[in-house]
Amino acid sequence: MKSSLRLPLLMKVLGWLILHLVILALSFLLFVRWQLGMGLDSLLSGSAGERLGSFGDTVVSLIVDLPPRQWNRVIQARADEKEVRAAAFDPANAESFPISLPPNVLTRARAAIPPQHPPPDRPRGGPDRPPRPDFEGQGSRPPPPELDDPQRPPPPEEDFEPGLPTKPSVFLPKSHPAFLLRADNGDGYWAGVLLYLPKSRNPPRQPIMLLIRADRLDGSGMFFDFKPWLWGGIAVLLLSLAFWTPFVWGITRYLHRLTIAADRIAAGQFNLSLPPRGNDELGILGRSIEVMADRLEHLISGQKRFLGDAAHEICAPLARISTGLGILEMKLAGADSSGLSSIEADTAELAALVNEILAFSRVGNRSPSLRVIALEPLLREVIAREAAVVEVELYVPLDLELSTDPILLGRAIGNLIRNAAVHAGPQAKVSIYAAETADAVSIMVTDNGPGVPAVELSRIFEPFYRLDRSRSRNTGGSGLGLAIVRTAIETCGGETIASLPENRGLSITIRLPHRAVAGS
């Protein structure tokens, strides 16, 4: 079965957060465009207008002393530095414009040039002063005087573009951005800037319309600067992540602890404690898991005590029955005593079952005595004790050590060897491998018996579970051997895993941590 991609809850929540921010940003832009009717001209009221005005002021300073036929050469040289195209537009001779003009740009440029204002009837100077030169296209704003007027102080330094070859005897009016739009046929983005030249330097005429074309909306940084929006979006994203990440991380960390607690309960370790977490849903779930683990611990320990007490109570009458059968067999004649053989066999089987129940109960209720031991000598001792009729091959590093209860581990290994002898018969052969990993020591016990069906692997460690449903005496076993193995290893803080080798047989893997923690 294919495993599906597993995404942590933190990644899912952060992904939804980023998607939410993107949708929110798009919704905001659409709302502003629809509700406020904002177009590209609205950018001129901000930094884009300042950049275009500054570019126009630079152009004015460069062409103020040049004849009109040289303007476009100087303007384009300046535009090349900005990676755009630009030229002065003459509405009376639009065909001679060096750049192809889309219809909507041509219409907008003509409409943006204000009509020529006639000179006023009354001089603006006063009775004792000569009239001052007028500027065209200034509207109601009075034009600034020339700097060589003895009655007028020089303009402040901020009215001059720094680093430009301006004439100190001429005051240059500020340029005025007129429009910013996109061509109808998609032929780039266009901006129009009204340039005002001093009338003393040029014959009376309308303001000059400077048209600037760029392939992209940013216009190399003059039309629209994406960087503030980009950095602003990144700042909002980082702020949102900084705000949400601790909250989501707290949830996922507590869920991870709940998962570990559930795994411990599934492994039979019921002694656990979770950190407190208020009265939210996760806190209530954590307390419920603690209560469940406590009740399961009392239930399982109660069952083990019941089995032990019941087996102990059965031992006494069972011993009396065995004694009575022996006395009765001696008093009866040979023919009559043959009928007692079956009763004696049943009594012996019952006694073995009671002993197994007692062993299972003792293993489950025993407090482990953990200490560091050498594994290879322990296994050889168990093999010498249990493998009288079983061939055992041992593959264990001589220097391998682990922390465990040697009595419980020895009992588990002994039960596995006896289990192989029962099911594999006289040709039984057992192989024991041991290896050390980064966090645990693994002991694999493999036999050459008939094995078990794959669907039964998850149940073979259950108490009293046997593949033979008839539970006849010939199949042997009480169904407690592997249950004792699992209980003993879990008491030492480890786990047992059953698997089927490629050839026939059964393989039981015991994993014990380097620093074992006693299980419940």
Which domain CATH number covers 515? 3.30.565.10
Q: What is the pLDDT of residues 183-229, one digit of tens each?
A: 887 778 899 999 988 765 545 456 889 999 998 877 777 887 767 77
CA distance from start to end of the chain: 34
Is residue 393 located within the same domain as residue 466?
A: yes
Of 319, 346, 365, which residue sits at a domain end?
Answer: 365
Is residue 373 located within the same domain as residue 468?
A: yes
Is residue 190 located within the same domain as residue 89?
A: yes
3-state secondary structure of 248: helix
The answer to whether position 446 is within a domain reads: yes
Output the CA torsion sign for 70, 71, 74, 79: negative
Q: What is the pLDDT of residues 299-329, one digit of tens each?
A: 877 777 776 667 666 777 777 777 777 777 7
Q: For residue 155, which of 141, 140, 173, 138 has the smallest C-alpha distance?
A: 173
Q: What is the pLDDT of residues 274-285, one digit of tens each?
A: 888 777 788 888
The answer to whether position 122 is within a domain reads: no
d(CA 467, CA 452): 8
Is residue 517 located within the same domain as residue 410?
A: yes
The answer to whether position 396 is within a domain reads: yes
Is residue 16 located within the same domain as residue 69?
A: no
d(CA 52, CA 177): 6
pLDDT band at 451 (very low <50, low <70, confident <90, very high): confident
The answer to whether position 517 is within a domain reads: yes
Is residue 296 located within the same domain as residue 403?
A: no
- Tell me the percentage of the chain whose pLDDT exceeds 70: 74
The two tokens of residue 138 are 């200034």
**Residue type at position 149:** D
Residue 126 to residues 129, 130, 133, 470: CA-CA distances in angstroms? 5, 7, 13, 130
Is residue 248 located within the same domain as residue 204?
A: no
Number of domains in the chain: 4
pLDDT band at 338 (very low <50, low <70, confident <90, very high): low
Q: Which domain holds residue 199?
A: 39-116+132-224
Phi/psi class of residue 504: alpha, beta or left (left: φ > 0; alpha: ψ in -120 to 50)? beta
The answer to whether position 296 is within a domain reads: yes
The answer to whether position 32 is within a domain reads: no
The stretch 400-418 carries a mean pLDDT of 89
Specify the pLDDT at position 135: 39
Question: Strand pairing partners for 474?
Answer: none
Is residue 125 scored above 50 in pLDDT? no
- Of the listed ranges 49-53, 238-242, 435-439, the least confidently predicted one is 238-242
The two tokens of residue 240 are 């949102």
- Of the listed ranges 451-460, 474-483, 484-493, the least confidently predicted one is 474-483
Specify the pLDDT at position 131: 45
Of 208, 236, 261, which residue sits at a domain end?
Answer: 261
| 189: enclosing H helix or E strand | strand 189-195
| 444: enclosing H helix or E strand | strand 440-447
Is residue 454 located within the same domain as residue 348?
A: no
The answer to whether position 1 is within a domain reads: no
Is residue 390 located within the same domain as residue 436?
A: yes
**Residue type at position 413:** I
The answer to whether position 486 is within a domain reads: yes
CATH of the domain at 337: 1.10.287.130
Is residue 518 located within the same domain as residue 397?
A: yes
Its pTM surpasses 0.75: no
pLDDT band at 148 (very low <50, low <70, confident <90, very high): very low
- Of the listed ranges 283-297, 345-359, 378-392, the least confidently predicted one is 345-359
Is residue 397 located within the same domain as residue 348?
A: no
d(CA 40, CA 243): 34
Specify the pLDDT at position 38: 53
Is residue 482 located within the same domain as residue 372?
A: yes
